[in-house]
Amino acid sequence: MKKFIQYLPKVELHLHIEGTLEPELMFELAVRNNINLPFNSITEVKQAYNFHNLQSFLDIYFQGANVLINEQDFFDLTWAYLLRCKNDNVMHTELFFDPQTHTDRGIDFSTVVNGIHRALVKGTTELGISSRLIMCFLRHLDEESAFKTLEQAQAHKDKITAVGLDSTEIGHPAGKFEQVFKQALKQGFLTVAHAGEEGPAGNIHDALNLLQITRIDHGVRCTEDPALIKQLAAERIPLTVCPLSNIKLKVFNFMEEHNIVDLLRRGLCVTINSDDPAYFGGYMTDNFLAVSDAHSLDKAEIAQFTFNAIEASFISEDEKKALETVTQRYLEVHQ
């Protein structure tokens, strides 16, 4: 089963590119850009990754992002992630970036997006990995800042497929961003949002109804509301679930308690993703293995996570069919 999972074709839909900043690259970029880190060694950084909740993670996440200054830094960050994708047999990835994390530090929006985009183009041509880019608004900031970010994105609409909403749910309801999401929809962007991770099932309802999103990032607390479960299943509204992240941030105490397999068997369009893998200890294959080790799944069920991700992706129907064919052939050969 481990070998089956390692070589299984995969699709990732919930990945924060800033969350792929490995300690080694953090130190390399700090030296390159003459940035002082509050750590003396890579070991100290790894010890700091023992979070007790989302906020304690976010504190170090934003701290680490300070080493990202130039376009080449964002290229190097993204390229390192794509090499991980290649190793994990990820065929397609849809990654988030947080422009406000950088523009609030005085980094130009174009510096961020151009560095990431250049790596994604190279990933397609040299690694055969297709991709889409999703711009997230930070929900702990105000809507005015989100509108400014949306305005900055106008010159780069050819590079950005969708907008999203991330950072902490607590104290920052979806309704705070209703108007900016309406504007983004008018401008042709697709929409996603984090909901139902640290916040209750009601946050998922709000994201669907107020923000008109087409995909829920996380969403594991949907089980609090039986009617919502039925709606998600009937309408095939995808959930981009991040198993190792959920354990690290204490959404569940143990992987055996995680509800992702139950949701899969109840007919929901759940997918496996890595979220912030440098901080949470695992990329795509690691997350698949963690779920498989804790739950009794057959190969068809494991492959269903990939089929669900293909269905939920923001690519064309022809592109979806091509990825489905690759995955189906793999499953048939290895059943």
Q: Would you name the residues annotated as active-site residues?
A: 197
Nearest CA-CA partner of 10 in 271, 296, 298, 317: 271
Nearest CA-CA partner of 177 in 196, 192, 198: 192
User: Which tokens go with 137?
Assistant: 């608004």
User: Which tokens go with 334?
Assistant: 């290895």
Which distant-in-sequence residues (6+ apart) come within 8 Å of 182 by Cβ?
A: 212
Give dist(CA 258, CA 187) in Å, integer. 37
User: 145-154: which pairs have CB atoms within 8 A and are 24 or more residues apart?
Assistant: 145/100, 146/100, 146/177, 146/180, 147/179, 147/180, 147/183, 149/99, 149/100, 149/103, 149/109, 150/180, 150/183, 150/184, 150/187, 152/99, 152/103, 152/109, 153/99, 153/109, 153/113, 154/187
